[in-house]
Structure 1
């Protein structure tokens, strides 16, 4: 973990730790102490404590009894809870978007940004570009409450994708989402089925498969 220099605000501390989580620097089960982070960021423990609480509220860290603040484990149950919630939000947003004839140009622009990435792009940036596509879909529905709910789970989902490291490259994700975009333009049930397939097969199923693979590797390494 590189030295961060002086970072004194809770928001900047939270952002630095969020980047660590999405880069895989902080592994599930890792314990974070105020003392160590105060030294790393050259700031007071109050700022560190506030920064940690930001990430706890976002589901990126957990406060565990007798352990303090730790990086959460990714489990089958957590994947299912998140993917079910996300599916309700995005499919609902797409229905609203289709009913109002929403402009899908922002979704197309987000797909183009993902397509511009190479396979050696840091995984965190790939995840963020992928996330932007789904955020634009949520925004197309035109419902501010729905968008706020989607935003609230975005970082946690990205952490899960970064941790289980589903078998996707930037190129493969770009191909998948170009296809999804084409189906969205067709509208109706075709668009809804395409998004549902993307969320279930490219999201839930891919993360479950990657998690099983990780656990198998861990068992064989013992």
Structure 2
């Protein structure tokens, strides 16, 4: 039998979509590994006291700034791929839009640097001090990114529920709830709030990457 040849334009579009979705697969693991490696090695940093965003300060602060921007750009590209991959499905409209907004928020959070705080970098006075304009910008960008990511997880939960994939639907909602609770605890000033926020954010981000990987292999 003669093999069926796909049109060149169709093949190119499939490869392009796969490349874009791959960006979403890479974004969260990259951000998590770079952030946690710094958290474990930078002098004076304590994840139970300091949010990962504060790593954007000090002589190596450029590394976390770049981490936010690169991961954000990858997330934006990945959202475009997910829009194509999820086209025509229950979550095909809003999940990619929310992932895109999350990526834009990450980029902005990288560009607006959080102030030094509570002893980090070494030599910084204890406590938070008066917030600068760029720290307020970081908090606003981070809030947008987190809200969009939480909503994306819940939309994916509905998407998988309607597709009959109960396990993925539950996992999506757990990931969104982990970030919702972690962020809420941190904003309320709860003990080790920066740790709960980090756990929630990384959980939700990794879930989106996992979903992206699923659709990448399905192409």
Q: Provide the TM-score with structure 1 as the length reference.
A: 0.33
TM-score by length of 2: 0.33
